[in-house]
Chain A
């Protein structure tokens, strides 16, 4: 490396560090460290994949939704998730990758999606529980990302969070209707909350002392709060909501700690978390198989669109 390029590199790094320190946004054409770029691609891609895989557990109930109003709400939600996937793939593409490349990594298991979507939706109440707890946890994670240092990601998060909050309220309202409904409906709601509570807490990732990427992401202002901090914030939000719902949370150790000003809660089963991450959760195989199949069975359609565009001089999208 010549002296000139070394100086340039140093100047770039200094300008980048100063921009991050001043809470300025990094934009696609700005210089950025390669590791920053790689971290963002990994995180945004995983986020996009989660939206796409996350359509499956809820779409599982579209054809069985018990009222036309609930069916319309659920269809709109699943449609929004596809839209969120599209925003996020676009945000990732500003970093020099492509949607095709990212989908290929998802399909071949080289990139992950949120472990929560490897749990099955066994009853209608699961749809409400996902809205309340899973979307609630996602919002707790994502609201701080609206201030993330990378501009395109932060702007995508603003749009995603608005829609997610709406879904979260609808999920809560659906659970409330069940909780106040017949004894069978109430039991269905409680059972769903019992099954989704712990997996939702796992959505915040491993505990702070085991989180590989946290320190660097926080220094770069990609992340603003630690996993454990966000998890605690989520528990504190959920406890009064569960009371208002008339449902209990499945944790005998859950209690208010006056001294800390927070709720204490029981230990998370990190063995289960790691198993699901490794691909051994209840639905990992099914989720990825369905995604691959949709992609493979759709290949002739995409080829037709490309061939038609080539013949008729359209932009091939």
Chain B
């Protein structure tokens, strides 16, 4: 693996974790039940921890998080999607944590290197995240008519952002087609148990497939970065 490809891979995975962690952090003080205040913050912290390790492989974590503009971020568009209602947050979490668990499992099994080390540690965390998302998908899908309807809408709304997860990332030696079919099998099984159906919309549009990895994001992302970076950028060179 070349140093550049290695860096590109760490940046892509680091940005995914950083951005999703930020979105989950927005829930603090707004969760539907106290146990979820704890759980969502816990997942956000795990992801932030992963982001810090990954970004540090690339350079200075704070420079990378706070001083890049929107077009330089390499996260998938899925993780930057606004929280919406609890069902949207859970659907985003189900799609992403299933992907992360399958991917990290493969990277950890592949053995050597910084990414394998990170993946071996992180796969335990993301197994917990996936379980949390699955349990809530079941409760919402198979709960009340209202929760079923909201969960169905959320799964459908986010479906079109899932194709991008399987665009090959330079520097990651992974069978992306196999990863995708494992992901589809896992998500399908959970949705069926939750009395939901797999959305039938497209997962690979000309714009959404691979766009985030190329620095092409959705509109809400710029606003998210403005909030995240404002204070840091207001005090150039300061340490905190």
CB-nearest residue of chain A relative to B86?
A: A301
Contact of B228 among A64, A178, A304, A306 (CB under 8 A): A64
Beyond A71-B48, A72-B52, whether A82 also contacts B86 by CB under 8 A is no
Question: How many Å from the CB of A228 to the closest CB on chain B?
Answer: 33
Are A55 and B240 in contact, with the CB atoms below 8 A? no
Contact of B29 among A59, A76, A181, A297 (CB under 8 A): A59
Beyond A63-B26, A67-B232, A75-B28, whether A311 also contacts B142 by CB under 8 A is yes
Are B32 and A72 in contact, with the CB atoms below 8 A? no
Beyond A52-B34, A64-B228, A67-B232, whether A78 also contacts B239 by CB under 8 A is no
A71 partner residues in chain B, CB cutoff 8 A: 25, 48
A255 proximal to B (CB < 8 A): no
Q: How far is the CA of A205 from the CA of B29 in the complex (A)?
A: 26
B86 partner residues in chain A, CB cutoff 8 A: 298, 301
A303 proximal to B (CB < 8 A): yes
Contact of B139 among A67, A89, A298, A304 (CB under 8 A): A304
B231 proximal to A (CB < 8 A): yes
Q: How far is the CA of A312 from the CA of B55 in the complex (A)?
A: 43
Q: How far is the CA of A54 from the CA of B49 in the complex (A)?
A: 25
B65 partner residues in chain A, CB cutoff 8 A: 68
A124 proximal to B (CB < 8 A): yes
A174 partner residues in chain B, CB cutoff 8 A: 240
B203 proximal to A (CB < 8 A): no
Are B28 and A304 in contact, with the CB atoms below 8 A? no
CB-nearest residue of chain B relative to A291?
A: B29
Are B239 and A298 in contact, with the CB atoms below 8 A? no
A306 partner residues in chain B, CB cutoff 8 A: 143
Are A66 and B240 in contact, with the CB atoms below 8 A? yes
Are A308 and B34 in contact, with the CB atoms below 8 A? no
Q: How far is the CA of A220 from the CA of B25 in the complex (A)?
A: 42
Select the stretch in B3-11, B35-43, B182-190, B205-213 that faces chain A.
B35-43
CB-nearest residue of chain B relative to A124?
A: B231
CB-nearest residue of chain B relative to A57?
A: B29
Select the stretch in B97-105, B106-114, B118-126, B144-152 that faces chain A.
B144-152
Are A82 and B45 in contact, with the CB atoms below 8 A? no
Which A residues between 101 and 156 are near B, CB-CB below 8 angstroms? Answer: 124
CB-nearest residue of chain B relative to A67?
A: B240
Which A residues between 258 and 317 are near B, CB-CB below 8 angstroms? Answer: 290, 293-295, 297-309, 311-312, 317
B55 partner residues in chain A, CB cutoff 8 A: 68
Beyond A294-B29, A294-B31, A302-B32, whether A308 also contacts B143 by CB under 8 A is yes
Question: How many Å from the CB of A303 to the closest CB on chain B?
Answer: 5
Question: How many Å from the CB of B26 to the closest CB on chain A?
Answer: 6
B1 proximal to A (CB < 8 A): no
Are B227 and A63 in contact, with the CB atoms below 8 A? yes
Question: How many Å from the CB of B66 to the closest CB on chain A?
Answer: 8
B70 proximal to A (CB < 8 A): no
A62 partner residues in chain B, CB cutoff 8 A: 25-26, 28
A185 proximal to B (CB < 8 A): yes
Which B residues between 121 and 159 are near A, CB-CB below 8 angstroms? Answer: 138-140, 142-144, 146-147, 150
6 additional A-B pairs beyond A64-B227, A294-B29, beta carbons within 8 Å, are A62-B26, A70-B240, A75-B41, A184-B235, A293-B30, A300-B147
Please give me the 5 A-B residue pairs with the lowest Cβ-Cβ distance, nearest first: A298-B32, A304-B143, A304-B147, A79-B41, A59-B28
Interface on B for A, CB 8 Å cutoff? Answer: 18, 22, 25-26, 28-38, 41-42, 44-45, 48-49, 51-52, 55, 61-62, 65-66, 85-86, 138-140, 142-144, 146-147, 150, 227-228, 230-232, 235, 237-240
A-B contact pairs, 10 of them (CB 8 A): A52-B34, A64-B231, A68-B52, A75-B25, A75-B28, A82-B37, A290-B29, A300-B150, A304-B147, A308-B139
